[in-house]
Amino acid sequence: MRSHGFPPFYKAFYAVTFIVIAAILLRPARSPSRTHTSAPLNGKPKLVLLLVIDGFRADRLTKFDDLFGEGGFKRLMERGAWFTNAHYGHATTYTAAGHAVIATGAYANRNGMVSNDWHDREKKSRVYCCEDDAAQVLGELTKRHGGTSPKNLLSTTVGDELRMSNNLQSKSIAISLKDRGAILLGGKLGTAYWWSSATGRFVTTTKYAQDYPAWVKQFNDARYADRYFGKEWTRLLPESAYTQSVRDDRPYEIDMLGNGRTFPHKITGRLDKPGSDFYEALEWTPFADELTLEFAKAAVTNEQLGKRNITDFLSISLSAHDMICHLFGPESQEAADIVLRLDRMLADFFQFLDQQIGMDHVIVALTADHGFMPTPEWSVELGLDAGRIDPEKMTQALNDALSAKFGSDRWVEAFWNPALYLNHTAMKAHGVPARDVEEAAADFLRSYPGIAECLTRTQILSGRVPDTALSRRVVKAFHRERSGDVIVVPKPLWYLHKKPTEYAATHGSPYAYDTHVPVILMGEPFRSGVYATLIDVVDVAPTLANVLGIAAPTLCEGRVLHEAIQQAENKDGGGRKR
């Protein structure tokens, strides 16, 4: 008897056809605004975007999350692997030290970046972290002790290793307001650009090029910064939205070049037209980050980053948050406002990358170089033990004490936070062993107001430091050739800076408010989620190297954050786990 149903072949054919049509109809629509057309690079990203927000404490993301939009920080927090318990393992939480850790996956005891500045014993002078007499700024005067090259960085970076992995075909470009922010992220083989407050341009040096590319000249000739002359920095939202911040006007906030202590902040540098004081005043406002990201957009477009069938590396260090917290304190309304504005700026930049490259082909790593202490006066208002230490008075008192003990002389040669450099010539002249002078200095300072602890060079090099978390942090920040003889650690909430009243607040301590920063990794290789396990910021560099399939930086000591990396399925047909 003949069947009236469909033969098995036709049943299978119609079933497959139905599935294919349904898949096409139900497939999510792609954004019509995207202009990119190139295919993925054998599973590798087209662009790695390393974002560093200067002074961005981890609680910035949770304190203001109800005021964020959808495309900036929330995009990272919801789609990325968000490590909520990331800390620096070193004691010297300064800009140069932090940027070097992020880029190299190593601490100063290896990479050499002991602080923003240190003392050269032979030359008896200051060394700035990125100074190099062999390199000069293109087209303008090179400042004494100005940043010009990564000569003093002793390790390669992730960007360097990426370039070396493919015979320098990848591009690595680093951009920042600060020279050290760009130079240290750019590494030995990248190209760094940073802001010049002298001219209102983005500059580089002879380390990187003999002349500016045409697109940089065009950007600088457009005088983008001048458009902000006379502009007012006002609150992004109504004042009623800033309930988690303190009152607007406090006497210990800093008026930088006429910007004022309260909203609105009118930016002129006290000038009648744009000039160097205006450009410097502009640095201390959110407009500086807007300029930095506009320059980054120009770099992406003109350098064809992510569009050349090779993985490129773009590092951006955004400095305004740090500078604003210095002037007003992290608890201020200004500090809250820059966070909210950064959220909108990042949303705009991600949208730009989505149009140019496609965010599904971009890896984003977001972190910070350090956190920030509360303003000491505010801490005192709250009944906490806090205050300011004047380094000149401290070193003079120490010198008097050492003179009384060992004989009159200039026993303290220099102090560059957090290190005291003692006078070894005086030690020889008075016949006193270095160890004895170090110990006497440390004993005196331990009883000085605001000082918590001191570790000596002899202690550290002989391995005789106390078995404490604080000591381990100091050791990681100590370099045999560059660090001083006594490392000074302030008490929690005590301000220690070269000028005690230069800023409202600062950073540089081994305490949680300075060490706790966000780490978020977003992109195809990473499993999204919230990770509360304690991690170290040195882990960022080896993790990026791992997912790129390249060697880790030469002195890298971090681990791969394997818990956040997608694992290949052990099944026929491959695929990725989520």
Q: Which of 95, 148, 285, 375 is catalytic?
A: 95
Q: What are phi and psi of 236, to 5 degrees?
A: -65, -35
Asked if the model's pLDDT at residue 363 lies above 90, the reply is yes
What CA–CA distances, in Å, run from 445 to 448, 454, 488?
5, 7, 8
The rounded percent of the chain whose pLDDT value lies above 90 is: 90
Contacts of 38 (CB under 8 A, 6+ apart): 46, 307, 309
Q: Which residue has the higher pLDDT, 170 or 10?
A: 170
The rounded percent of the chain whose pLDDT value lies above 70 is: 91
* pLDDT tens readout for residues 268-319: 999 999 999 999 999 999 999 999 999 999 999 999 999 999 999 999 999 9
Give the mean pLDDT of the chain: 92
Burial 442-479 (b: 16+ CB within 10 A, else e): bebbeebebbbbbbbbbbbeeeebeeeebbbbbbbbbb
Contacts of 362 (CB under 8 A, 6+ apart): 45, 46, 47, 48, 49, 306, 353, 523
Type of residue found at 136? Q
**CA 260/CA 245 separation, integer angstroms:** 18
Give me the mean pLDDT over the 100-106 stretch: 98
pLDDT of residue 42: 72
Give me the mean pLDDT over the 107-129 stretch: 97
What CA–CA distances, in Å, run from 440 to 119, 132, 379, 409?
21, 36, 32, 15
Residue 43 banded pLDDT, cuts 50, 70, 90? confident
CA Rg value for the chain: 26
Q: What are phi and psi of 5, to 5 degrees?
A: -85, 175
| Burial class of 167 by CB neighbour count within 10 A (0 to 12, 13 to 18, 19+) | exposed
pLDDT of residue 567: 74
Q: Is the preceding peptide bond at 264 cis, omega within 30 degrees of 0?
A: yes
Asked if the model's pLDDT at residue 23 lies above 90, the reply is no
CA-wise closest residue to 104 among 450, 496, 538, 465? 538
Q: Tally the C-alpha atoms within 13 A of residue 491's C-alpha that lie toward its C-beta.
A: 17
Asked if the model's pLDDT at residue 22 lies above 50, the reply is no
Q: What is the 3-state secondary structure (H, E, C) of 316-370?
A: EEECHHHHHHHHHCCCCHHHHHHHHHHHHHHHHHHHHHHHHCCHHHEEEEEECCC
Residue 36 banded pLDDT, cuts 50, 70, 90? very low
Asked if the model's pLDDT at residue 578 lies above 60, the reply is no
Q: Retrieve residue 200's tokens.
A: 């209102």
Give me the mean pLDDT over the 192-219 stretch: 98
Query: Which CATH number fits the domain 387-496, given the four candidates 3.30.1360.150, 3.30.1330.60, 3.40.50.2300, 3.40.50.10140?
Result: 3.30.1360.150
Q: Which of 37-46, 177-186, 320-329, 543-552 has the lowest mean pLDDT?
A: 37-46
Sorted by where each begins, the domain ranges of the chain are: 47-375+510-564, 387-496
Residue 36 backbone zone (phi > 0: left; psi -120 to 50: alpha; other: beta):
beta
| ∠ Cα 193 194 200 (to 5°) | 120
* pLDDT tens readout for residues 450-493: 999 999 999 999 999 999 999 999 999 999 999 999 999 999 99
pLDDT of residue 309: 95
pLDDT of residue 41: 65
Determine what percent of the chain falls in helix, strand and coil, rounding each to the nearest 5: 35, 15, 45
Asked if the model's pLDDT at residue 535 lies above 90, the reply is yes
What CA–CA distances, in Å, run from 60 to 23, 67, 97?
42, 11, 21
* pLDDT tens readout for residues 149-185: 999 999 999 999 999 999 999 999 999 999 999 999 9
Asked if the model's pLDDT at residue 30 lies above 80, the reply is no
* pLDDT tens readout for residues 231-262: 999 999 999 999 999 999 999 999 999 999 99
Burial 130-139 (b: 16+ CB within 10 A, else e): bbbeebbbbe
Q: What are phi and psi of 30, to 5 degrees?
A: -85, 150
Give me the mean pLDDT over the 526-539 stretch: 98
Residue 230 backbone zone (phi > 0: left; psi -120 to 50: alpha; other: beta):
left
Give me the mean pLDDT over the 207-228 stretch: 98
Q: Is 501 a catalytic residue?
A: no
CA-wise closest residue to 408 among 396, 394, 426? 426
Residue 264 banded pLDDT, cuts 50, 70, 90? very high
Q: Strand 81-87 to strand 516-522: parallel, antiparallel, or no bridges (unpaired)?
A: antiparallel
Q: CB–CB of 530/79 below 8 Å?
A: no
Residue written as token pair 């706790």:
516
Chain CA centroid to CA 530, Å: 21
Asked if the model's pLDDT at residue 32 lies above 80, the reply is no
- Which CATH number is 47-375+510-564 given? 3.40.720.10
Asked if the model's pLDDT at residue 375 lies above 60, the reply is yes
pLDDT of residue 24: 35
Residue 25 banded pLDDT, cuts 50, 70, 90? very low
pLDDT of residue 337: 98
* pLDDT tens readout for residues 310-360: 999 999 999 999 999 999 999 999 999 999 999 999 999 999 999 999 999
Give me the mean pLDDT over the 495-517 stretch: 97
Q: CB–CB of 51/366 below 8 Å?
A: yes
What CA–CA distances, in Å, run from 393 to 112, 420, 445, 546?
29, 13, 12, 49
